[in-house]
Amino acid sequence: MTLAIKTTATQNSRLPSIDWNHLPFGRIFTDHMLSMDYRSGAWQTPEIVPFGPLSLNPGNSTLHYGQSIFEGMKAIRAKDGRITLFRPELNARRFNESCVRLCMPEIDEQLFIDLVKAQVRFEQDWIPNSPDSSLYIRPFIFATDDFLGVRPSETYKFMVLTCPVGAYYAEPVSVKIEEHFTRAAEGGVGRAKTAGNYAASLYPTKLANNEGFHQLIWTDGKEHKYIEESGTMNLVLVIDGVILTPSEDSDTILRSVVKRSVVDLAKHWGLPVEERRISVDEVVQAIREGRLTDAFGAGTAATIAPIAKIGFRGEVFDLPAVETRAVSKRIKAYLDDIKTGECADELGWCVEIR
């Protein structure tokens, strides 16, 4: 079935003005955006239109009650020119899980992927070629009822924006274990990729930034005893040669596509890997005893981001030198290489956009 999308091309492309050697994350938008409205209980015909401002009624319910969800994906151009997405079915599934939690209408998973592909195909000239660069994709949905009252909106807008981007973090990150503020509580919305989770993280993160850290390591909301995730990344540690990551059984941790791939890859390679609760005490003790040999964040924006320092109760621990990190180096190299086509994609994760 061919997807019916109405397209209107811009007469004034901004492509010639782009400085490809300087691509700040999330600030440069491509010429077009995809948009699809939901009304009368059904999704309407999608459109690709020139990128530009939306006009909103100040009574728009998203502005007041926060029914808003987003996803983050990347399109990469392989060395042979093929354009691929990385495991887009996981984003489509997570998007719908978030929609259910926030009382928003789901989008058929195949339609979600087809719309993302259509936007990337339309904007393919914007995909950077340099290493560590990509076309970042931001699908999102928000409520569009003009109504002041707490109830699910009856109308929504789904959109896909695209941004050529360079590396998210320019250097290995330093993170602080947070024992007061909470990102997500059991029974809450931590597992949904909804805007309010990020708004709530800003103040505690600002305080950590003032202390010189890039990010926080969130701990569980009940006892602040177990590590959860960090900024826009899930956490992976190597202690005593075992790859460890907090389990996603609770509904407080976002199910990361990259973290899932790290675990799948470790299993595929026959490396020891455990998804379980990991206590702060266990991590701090392992660092003190030199048993923690690797630590990194896993997420679409940063991919594999080595953690250089961990702060805890006023102490700052320097972790082993990044060059010595066998596990994260091997995983990052593999993920980069299957995307650029430098090695075989044995697990079939890269989905081509034709």
Ligand X SMILES: Cc1ncc(COP(=O)(O)O)c(C=O)c1O
* Interface with ligand X (CB under 6 A): 72, 229, 232-234, 254, 256-259, 298-300
**Residue closer to ligand X (CB basis): 85 or 254:** 254
Alpha-carbon distance 205 to 216, whole Å? 6
What's the min distance (Å) between Cβ of 336 and ligand X?
15
Of 134 and 153, which has the nearer Cβ to ligand X? 134
Residue 17 CA to its chain's centroid (Å): 28
- Count other Cβ atoms within 10 Å, centred on residue 230: 28
Q: Which is nearer to ligand X, 48 or 92 (CB)?
A: 92
| Most distant CA pair in the chain, distance | 62
C-alpha to C-alpha distance for 208 and 226, rounded to whole angstroms: 19
Residue 257: CB minimum distance to ligand X, A: 3
Distances (CA, A) of 153 to 38, 51, 56, 98: 10, 25, 15, 15
Q: In Å, how far are 24, 96, 175, 244, 335 from 294, measured between CA atoms?
A: 28, 33, 14, 10, 17
Taking only Cα atoms into account, the Rg of the chain, rounded to an integer number of angstroms, comes to: 21
Minimum Å gap between C-beta 252 and ligand X is 10
Two structure tokens written together for 240: 């005593």
Least gap, CB of 73 to ligand X (angstroms): 8
CB burial of residue 33 (10 Å; 0-12, 13-18, 19+): buried
Whether 42 contacts 320, CB under 8 Å: no
- Please identify, using beta-carbon distances, which residue of 153 and 256 lies nearer to ligand X: 256
Is the Cβ of residue 227 or residue 233 nearer to ligand X in the bound state? 233
> What is the spatial distance between Cα 158 and Cα 309, in angstroms, rounded to a whole number?
39
CB of 8 to ligand X, least distance (A): 30
Closest distance between ligand X and the C-beta of residue 206, in Å? 17
* CB closer to ligand X out of 38 and 218: 218
Q: Which is nearer to ligand X, 37 or 275 (CB)?
A: 275
**Spatial separation of the C-alpha atoms in residues 73 and 87, rounded to whole Å:** 9
Cα–Cα dist 115/3, whole Å: 8
SS3 247: coil
DSSP class per residue in 155-172: -EEEEEEEEEE--S-SS-
CB of 230 to ligand X, least distance (A): 8
Kindly tell me which of 164 and 299 has the beta carbon lying closer to ligand X.
Answer: 299
In the complex, least distance from residue 258 CB atom to ligand X, rounded to whole angstroms: 3
